[in-house]
Structure 1
């Protein structure tokens, strides 16, 4: 399972800040680094769009995610409002991007799981999971996802707004390492719940042959797709090799979750 962590802003984009010195770019980077550590320890493969205070454009962020072939995109932010009374956590998710609506159901599912755990851990107001589309009819992206990083990514994508830094009480929380760790742990728990990954079991003795479908290392399996050989990340459990199905989207298939059945549906795109 390949997860892209995108700490928002950074570099020259450091204008978003709270009333007593919290800087969004620094806060979400710290949360992102904590989240990376937690997910890597749990067996996930992680790509960060930035891991330091650097300037990364919106289009470049989605390019990094797409080029890497991520399965899930998490953009981390803290919120702002003109009133200090605005509060709580909300998550925006894919609905209708440049690649259509194929990621909507899955993104909504994951957003709901992560938001529930964030609210449970922090006690902050639940502002819900949301979508936002471009409403201007003259726009070239009319009817598409409003936010570029959601619109342009080729995977289920979330923008996670982790409280309001313009709210004095929430800014005070965001300035503490303890609270940022709690946020990272909640997001990590959500990813684990949505995409369980088990640690490969160690096997000793009695095995003299290679497993069927040659394994190149403990995390990869050779898979033939329409005559083309691909190395796919996965894991072994009790002698059976498991691979995530989202990788099929890289090869022209449409993978979606149909909550009505419920079932994962794979179609030719």
Structure 2
């Protein structure tokens, strides 16, 4: 099972770009697109949040551990000093249980997903890395610095998909096309790192492929989708191929689909 963790949300909405991009909303949109893409490929996926709500760091990892996930992907956009740019991924080294068994698997997944993101976006490759608590008086000295990595008892990645503090990268992140590109790149990386043929049946989503009829503005079309856990899933970008405009409403945290006459 793949756990997707869109960072921040709810009361935690302070991370913003210079012209209004909100990290919590952007990474949620990417996460929902990523979820749909992974399910379309047959992966079993759960999310720590599917809407704008407050979820604590400890609750995120508590959920992931209770679901016994195989991999946790925590989705973020970055902030830094003027001129900071690019994509980077932090991965498990030494978690809460002083357990390094997930280190090599996390590193392998991070390297593949990082390469896919850089190739798809053309953004600077800041590399994959680890970070440990270096305060010798801390009770967690020598363990993973980031709580979502440290407290996840599975390979865990924090994926920083560009700098929202950088005006050029913020402008990209504000577009649905670029957010879809990020989601597609992670799906591609996951397919390379975890080919479906290599996964046991318990790790594959038991979803039914079906034709789904959609009616928008009195236009009915059919799309290849999936039926999973009493929900129908269709790729959002499908609408754009049939003359619809798909936009993300950051104020109300919803996707809007409008027919362009």
Sort the TM-score into its range (normalised by shorter chain): 0.7 to 0.9
2:43 is the counterpart of 1:18: no
User: Residue 93 of structure 1 corresponds to which residue in structure 2?
Assistant: 91
Q: What is the CA-CA distance between 1:98 and the residue it aligns to?
A: 1.4
Question: Take 1:154 and 1:189, find their aligned partners in 2: how far apart are those partners?
Answer: 25
For 1:49-60, what aligned pairs fall within 5 Å after superposition?
A: 49-60=48-59
Q: TM-score, normalised by structure 2?
A: 0.76
Whose Rg is larger?
1
User: Residue 8 of structure 1 corresponds to which residue in structure 2?
Assistant: 7
User: Residue 42 of structure 1 corresponds to which residue in structure 2?
Assistant: 41
Q: What is the CA-CA distance between 1:233 and the residue it aligns to?
A: 4.4
2:188 is the counterpart of 1:189: yes
Question: Take 1:114 and 1:49, find their aligned partners in 2: how far apart are those partners?
Answer: 20
Unaligned runs of 5+ in 2: 207-261
Provide the aligned length of Structure 1 versus Structure 2. 205
| 1:81-102 deviation digits (Å, cap 9, x = unpaired) | 132x100000000000013111
Instruction: Say whether the 8 Å CA contact 1:43–1:199 is kept in structure 2.
Output: no
Secondary structure, in 3 states, of the residue corresponding to 1:162? strand
Unaligned runs of 5+ in 1: 201-218, 221-231, 237-269
2:156 is the counterpart of 1:157: yes
| 1:182-202 deviation digits (Å, cap 9, x = unpaired) | 0000011111111111499xx
> Please, what is the CA RMSD of the aligned residues?
1.8
Q: TM-score, normalised by structure 1?
A: 0.74
Instruction: Say whether the 8 Å CA contact 2:39–2:205 is kept in structure 1.
Output: no
Sort the Cα spacing of 1:235 and 1:58 in 2 relative to 1 into closer, same or farther, 3 A: closer
User: Residue 79 of structure 1 corresponds to which residue in structure 2?
Assistant: 78
Sort the Cα spacing of 1:169 and 1:43 in 2 relative to 1 into closer, same or farther, 3 A: same
Question: Take 2:205 and 2:132, find their aligned partners in 1: how far apart are those partners?
Answer: 38
Question: Take 1:105 and 1:142, find their aligned partners in 2: how far apart are those partners?
Answer: 21
**Deviating 4+ runs (over 6 angstroms):** none
User: Residue 115 of structure 1 corresponds to which residue in structure 2?
Assistant: 114
Secondary structure, in 3 states, of the residue corresponding to 1:190? helix
